[in-house]
Structure 1
Amino acid sequence: MSNTEHIVQFFRSDEEYVRAAGYFLREGLEAGETCVAVATAEHHLQLDRHLLDAGLDPDMLSAEYRYVPLQAEQLLPTFFDARSGIDQERFHRQFNLLISQASSRGQPVRIFGEMVSLLADQGQPTAAIQLEELWNELSRQHHFSLFCSYKVSPFTENPRYRKLLHSIHSHVVCEGA
């Protein structure tokens, strides 16, 4: 991947998740980057509290298009169906547009996402891997930092999938398992 970081971390608890994701987003916001958070509704509430505790106002940052909170549960079905899988064309169209808009401020873009974890939780490991590879395809067209999260599960502890997840990402942080 050229000029793109694709980071993965495996989590055992929501507290660990929010701390790592919140730090990733806070660091980017404090550096003036545009940050996109694709998280569950519950995690958005926790991330907002984390940002507020750090002295950052998520609502104000969102109004300035510096922070883009997107609901993972709503976004995932726009390009994925359990019967037919991932619509690659729709994914590329949606996320090319999102990254183009996010980078229009002229600042680096950071994306935090847990859609891959949702797929893994839904028993869709092949789709999770495919989604990771689609992000890598996007990285050949755009510069961004992507931080993926997975709950520790039989999927992430399976040696075959663990090795594959390591190879797909440029950085693996805090094994957690």
Structure 2
Amino acid sequence: MSNSAHIVHFFRSDEEYVRAAGYFLREGLEAHETCVAVATAEHHRQLDRYLRESGLDPDLLSAEYRYVPLQAEQMLPTFFDAQAGIDQDRFHRQFNQLVIQAASRGQPVRLFGEMVSLLAEQGRPALAIQLEELWNELSRQHSFSLFCAYKVSPFTENPRYRKLLHSIHSHVVCEGA
């Protein structure tokens, strides 16, 4: 991936999750990068609290299109159907457009997401891996940093999947391992 990073973090607790994801977002926002967070509603509340405690205003940053909070539970069904699986064309159209819009400010783009973790938690590890690969495809067209978060589970602790997850990502944070 040229000029891109694909980071994975395994977390055991929400506190660990918020600390890692919040730091990733805060670091980007402080560098004036455009940050997109695709997280669950509960995690958005926790991330917003983290950002406020760090002296940042997520509402103001969102109004300035420097911080784009998206709901993982709402984004996933836009390209994924429980019966049909992942529609690769819809994924590429949707996220290609999102990255283009985020980059329109002329600043680097950071994406944080937990849609892959939602798929893994639903017992769909092969689809989580497929989604990771789609992000890698997208990174060959656009430059961005992507930070994925997985709740530690039988999926992430399975040696076969763990090795595969490590190989798909350019950086691995194993705090929760």
Q: Matched residues in 2 for 1:173 and 1:84: separation?
A: 32
CA drift of 1:174 comes to: 2.8
Q: Matched residues in 1 for 2:82 and 2:132: separation?
A: 17
> What is the TM-score when the length of structure 1 is the normalising length?
0.99
CA deviations over 1:109-166 (Å, ceiling 9, x no partner): 0000000000000001010000000000000000000000000000000000000000
> What is the TM-score when the length of structure 2 is the normalising length?
0.99
What SS does the aligned partner of 1:68 have?
Answer: strand
Letter in 1 for 2:56: L
Task: Give structure 2 stretches of 5+ with no counterpart.
Answer: none
Partner of 2:18: 18
Partner of 2:129: 129
Partner of 1:173: 173
Is it true that 1:85 corresponds to 2:82 in the alignment? no
Letter in 2 for 1:136: N
Q: Matched residues in 2 for 1:174 and 1:129: separation?
A: 18
Q: Matched residues in 2 for 1:95 and 1:41: separation?
A: 20
Partner of 1:138: 138
Partner of 2:110: 110
Letter in 2 for 1:174: C
Task: Give structure 1 stretches of 5+ with no counterpart.
Answer: none
Moved over 3 A (4+): none
Q: CA RMSD in A?
A: 0.5
CA drift of 1:175 comes to: 4.2
